[in-house]
Amino acid sequence: MRAGALHEVSAASCALVDDAAATLFIAGIAAREALATGAPVLWASCRNDLYAPGVAQAGLPAASVIHVQPRDDKALLAVIEDAVRDGTPCVVIAEVRRISMVAGRRLQLASAEADLPILLLRQRRQRERDPLEEPSAAWTRWRIASAPSLPVEAAGVGRPQWQVELARQRGGEPFSLILEGCDETGRLAVPAASADRAVAAVGTARQAAA
């Protein structure tokens, strides 16, 4: 993911499991940045519902997060710009319902100038309206959904899986794939079954070429 750019992430539906998947997807990206730089993550939201233990499971402990709660989206966007220009955080996360093209371009320019990623978690204003259908200045736009977890040998729940869709990226093609959810370091993984199928396909192609 490009460092000095604006990126948007949205849940694929209004379901809580998809909303949680999108939140943890962003948290994992921020966790890797925090680990690499040693700098904190700024998380801005007008809501007071960030579940710290859940975010910590994606590699982002509370000690690495500066949480701010502006009164509305307008104040939130101002906080983002100030934080990016200040340079204290390694990444800025913002939960927003509405953002205009003008505001998006301002954030993209600020992000590029500071070489610091801005991650927008787009909230749904209406249950059936996809936020990623609105015009945007973002460099990439991601749509995240929960997928069935892999079965495990012992009784219990396996590692969560997500349907990760890159809906748009500048200079590249969109794609969609199933990934295992973030581990305690914020890293994603290709499910073992998918990796085995990919290896098998490569082997078959090589035999055919021979």
Please report whether residue 26 resides in a domain: yes
DSSP-derived letter for residue 89 is S
When pLDDT is averaged across residues 191-201 and rounded to a whole number, the result is 51
pLDDT above 90 (res 47): no
DSSP string of 163-200, one letter each residue: EEEEEEETTB--EEEEEEPP-TTS--B--HHHHHHHHH
Gap between the Cα atoms of 65 and 62, Å rounded: 5
The lowest-confidence range among 107-121, 126-140, 171-185 is 126-140
pLDDT in the model for residue 156: 57
**Quick check: pTM over 0.75?**
yes
Residue 24 domain flag: yes
| Domain assignment of residue 28, given as a range | 6-209
pLDDT at 202: 33
Determine what percent of the chain is predicted with pLDDT higher than 90: 66
Is the residue at 147 inside a domain?
yes
pLDDT on residue 209: 32
- Tell me, yes or no, whether 143 lies in a domain: yes
CB 56 within 8 A of CB 28: no
Model confidence at 162: pLDDT above 90: yes
| Non-local CB neighbours of 102 within 8 Å, separated by 6+ positions | none
Residue 1: inside a domain: no
Q: Are 121 and 94 in contact (CB under 8 A)?
A: yes
Residue 54 lies in a domain: yes
Q: Which pLDDT value is given to residue 201?
A: 34
The amino acid at 206:
R
Q: How high does pLDDT run on average in the chain?
A: 86
Q: At how many degrees (to 10) do helices 73-86 and 101-114 cross?
A: 20
Highest mean pLDDT among 73-77, 116-120, 151-155: 116-120
What is the count of structural domains for the chain? 1
Residue range 167-184: mean pLDDT, rounded: 93
Residue 198's φ and ψ, nearest 5 degrees, are: -65, -45
Q: Which region, left, alpha or beta, applies to residue 191 given φ > 0 means left and ψ of -120 to 50 means alpha? A: beta
The least confident of 54-58, 148-152, 156-160, 191-195 is 191-195
pLDDT of 194 > 70? The answer is no
Q: Is 21 domain-assigned?
A: yes
Rounded Cα distance, 93 and 191, in Å: 27
Kindly state whether residue 13 falls inside one of the protein's structural domains.
yes
What is the domain-level CATH number for residue 22?
3.40.50.300
Q: List, in sequence order, the alpha helices (H) in the chain.
A: 16-37, 52-57, 73-86, 101-114, 192-209
The CA distance from 44 to 42, in Å, is: 6
The widest CA-to-CA distance across the chain, in whole angstroms, is: 65
Q: How confident is residue 168, by pLDDT bands cut at 50, 70 and 90?
A: very high
